[in-house]
């Protein structure tokens, strides 16, 4: 929905899960010299201030990144993620939070390219400002990423990470995400596709993981992190999931190490749990 601003939720428990996985995916793609593309269908603003504006009003980052910030016992994958956040907070104080595009920008190499979509008229302008010095390595599009991605696939290097993470405030986003993935796989079957989704009390959210599993019979990894029991009033986010199609073989080990830790640290009411499912060929 055009009213949605991710800054309200920046750095929360869902961002921690999503971005820790994204960092690991980008690390893997960067191991080979051949270039890759990072494509984000719902890029947001790129970087968020945590001490003022929208994020300060809700302070959701206190349920996420803030709980990891000063820990010295983080599993390797989480330590890597926190290090990327620390890089834009040079004084050691948690003031800024990098969204997926900025995390990708930090991990990209000179030969890699970025393609970002954002539909919100204000967010796209902030995104353009944040990437004003990126040159042609980062191409930004003011538009619907579900539709715009069609023109980019397959990418020239035949290697890419595609992140699909709409807000899902509009319940049609669930069906649109499935259609986008079906069409994208038809164009570029070997790409790595990472889909974030919220755990909320809504039928579309409850059945979404099973719909994702039917996209292809093998080569997928599904992880979810529930931080509290579902709210009694039916409103609010109580967890989230990441579904990765064509995941690198290294990802399963990373999430198995990080999720038990996150369950304990991000637990809100004693009901936290996690799930890991994988099917490989």
Catalytic positions are 165
Q: Which of 241, 151, 214, 133 is nearest to 188 (CA)?
A: 151
Rounded to whole angstroms, the Cα distance separating 93 from 70 reads 10
Listing DSSP states for 62-123 in one string gives GGTGGGTTT-S---HHHHHHHHHHHTT-TTSS--EEE-HHHHHHHH--TT-EEEEEE--HHH
- Backbone φ and ψ of 121, nearest 5°: -65, -35
Rounded to whole angstroms, the Cα distance separating 200 from 239 reads 7
Strand partners of residue 279: 220
The DSSP call for residue 231 is: P
Neighbours of 195 (CB within 10 A): 26
Q: Which of 235, 227, 238 is nearest to 265 (CA)?
A: 227
Rounded to whole angstroms, the Cα distance separating 85 from 275 reads 25
Q: Which of 263, 280, 281 is nearest to 272 (CA)?
A: 263
Would you give the end-to-end CA distance of the chain in angstroms?
37
């Amino acid at each position: 929905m055009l009213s949605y601003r991710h800054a309200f939720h920046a750095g929360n428990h869902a961002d921690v899960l999503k971005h820790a996985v994204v960092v690991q995916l980008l690390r893997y793609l960067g191991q080979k010299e051949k270039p890759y593309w990072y494509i984000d269908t719902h890029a947001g603003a790129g970087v968020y201030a945590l001490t003022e504006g929208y994020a300060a009003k809700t302070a959701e980052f206190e349920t996420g990144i803030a709980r990891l910030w000063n820990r010295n016992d983080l599993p390797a994958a989480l330590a890597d993620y926190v290090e990327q956040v620390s890089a834009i907070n040079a004084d050691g104080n948690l003031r800024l939070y990098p969204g997926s595009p900025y995390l990708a920008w930090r991990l990209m190499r000179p030969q890699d390219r970025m393609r970002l979509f954002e539909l919100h008229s204000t967010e796209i302008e902030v995104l353009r400002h944040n990437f004003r010095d990126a040159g042609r390595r980062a191409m930004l599009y003011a538009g619907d990423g579900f539709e715009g991605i069609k023109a980019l696939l397959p990418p020239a290097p035949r290697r890419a990470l595609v992140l699909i993470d709409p807000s899902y405030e509009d319940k049609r986003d669930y069906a649109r995400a499935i259609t986008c993935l079906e069409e994208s796989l038809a164009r570029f079957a070997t790409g790595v596709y990472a889909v974030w989704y919220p755990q909320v009390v809504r039928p579309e959210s409850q059945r979404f993981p099973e719909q994702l599993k039917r996209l292809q019979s093998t080569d997928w990894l599904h992880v979810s992190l529930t931080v509290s029991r579902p709210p009694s009033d039916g409103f609010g986010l109580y967890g989230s999931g990441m579904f990765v199609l064509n995941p690198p073989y290294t990802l399963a080990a990373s999430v198995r190490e990080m999720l038990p830790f996150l369950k304990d640290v991000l637990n809100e009411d004693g009901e936290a749990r996690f799930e890991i499912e994988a099917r490989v060929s």
